[in-house]
Amino acid sequence: MIKGKVVIITGASSGIGEATAKLLASKGAKVVLGARRAEHLKQIADEIEQQGGQAVYQTLDVTRQSENDAVVKLATESFGRVDAIFLNAGLMPNSPLSALKTDDWHQMVDVNVKGVLNGVAAVLPEFLAQKSGHVIATSSVAGLKAYPGGAVYGGTKWFVRDFMEVLRMESAMEGTNIRTATIYPGAVNTELLSTFSDKASLDQMKAIYDKFGISPDRIASVVAFAIDQPEDTTINEFTIGPANQPW
């Protein structure tokens, strides 16, 4: 059941996060949007409200614990509780290791790994206290298969896979009823390629996205499906991408 659920979405200012926010709100969820670009969030929240949905937003840099905590506070103050968090903020500045783009490596670890840790740390006290909650995270097909140019990005997405699986297992053992869903998208047409700093890697990846990329609406519908499941059921892994992409 989606109607009435309070769902926090990180990385909600574009792409998969934006599409998911709009879809969930159209199905009656109360959405709480976080990302760094406040003007995008405002526009998305306004659009949701014009369509009769409910949305609040707050500037969020997922690398800062205090800002993750503030988004959870906004959710509880606005809507009384949190039912689900979609840990979706991420970036993919791929490059060969020999290019030594160490700033990109560290930024990916900060956002794709520590951002997930910070989001979970912010929401877990609520979920443990209410003995329910749903953690959904965007990994990638890069979290399932290695490929040249994606050593660090793939590593961050492998981390998400392992972390989410242990979260699910520990919650089941501890009886806290926290469900997990990890999403592994293939090529999806979003703003993700704008984070590349290595021109050759960008050109290579752009050719793949131009050929295969699908709409972020497809990923949103999978997130909605996961949230719609009955409380006693977890569907913890989804690989979803273009039918014709040989990832």
Ligand X SMILES: NC(=O)c1ccc[n+]([C@@H]2O[C@H](COP(=O)([O-])OP(=O)(O)OC[C@H]3O[C@@H](n4cnc5c(N)ncnc54)[C@H](OP(=O)(O)O)[C@@H]3O)[C@@H](O)[C@H]2O)c1
Q: Where are the beta strands (DSSP E) in the chain?
A: 6-10, 30-35, 54-59, 84-87, 133-138, 178-185, 237-240
Task: Say how far apart CA 117 and CA 160 lie, in whole Å.
Answer: 9
Q: With CB under 6 A as the contact rule, which of the stretches 31-39, 78-86, 120-128, 220-228 interacts with ligand X? A: 31-39
Asked if 16 is part of the footprint of ligand X (rule: CB under 6 A), the reply reads yes
**Catalytic residue chosen out of the listed positions 57, 153, 184, 209:** 153
Contact residue for ligand X among 5, 6, 8, 11 (CB under 6 A): 11
Asked if 9 is part of the footprint of ligand X (rule: CB under 6 A), the reply reads no
Active site residue 147: no
For residues 239 and 144, is the Cβ–Cβ distance under 8 A?
yes
For residues 240 and 144, is the Cβ–Cβ distance under 8 A?
no
Q: Which two tokens stand for residue 138?
A: 């965007």
Asked if 25 is part of the footprint of ligand X (rule: CB under 6 A), the reply reads no
Q: Identify which of 134, 157, 135 has the alpha carbon closest to the alpha carbon of residue 144.
A: 157
Asked if 43 is part of the footprint of ligand X (rule: CB under 6 A), the reply reads no
Contact residue for ligand X among 93, 149, 185, 242 (CB under 6 A): 185
Contact residue for ligand X among 3, 37, 106, 145 (CB under 6 A): 37
Q: With CB under 6 A as the contact rule, which of the stretches 14-22, 73-81, 121-129, 230-238 interacts with ligand X? A: 14-22
Contact residue for ligand X among 24, 31, 45, 90 (CB under 6 A): 90
Rg (CA), the chain: 17
Containing H/E element for 35?
A: strand 30-35
Size of the site for ligand X (CB under 6 A): 31
Q: Could you tell me how far CA 138 lies from the centroid of its own chain?
A: 4
Asked if 188 is part of the footprint of ligand X (rule: CB under 6 A), the reply reads yes
Close Cβ partners of 100 (under 8 Å, ≥ 6 residues apart): none
Asked if 242 is part of the footprint of ligand X (rule: CB under 6 A), the reply reads no
Close Cβ partners of 153 (under 8 Å, ≥ 6 residues apart): 92, 93, 94, 108, 112, 140, 142
Q: How far is the CB of 131 from ligand X (least distance, A)?
A: 28
Q: Taking CB under 6 A as the rule, which mask of x and - marks residues 114-153 in contact with ligand X? A: ------------------------x-x-------------
Asked if 154 is part of the footprint of ligand X (rule: CB under 6 A), the reply reads no
For residues 226 and 235, is the Cβ–Cβ distance under 8 A?
yes
Where on the chain is the footprint of ligand X (CB under 6 A)? 10-17, 35-37, 40, 60-63, 88-92, 111, 138, 140, 185, 187-188, 190-192, 216
Task: Enumerate the active-site residues.
Answer: 153
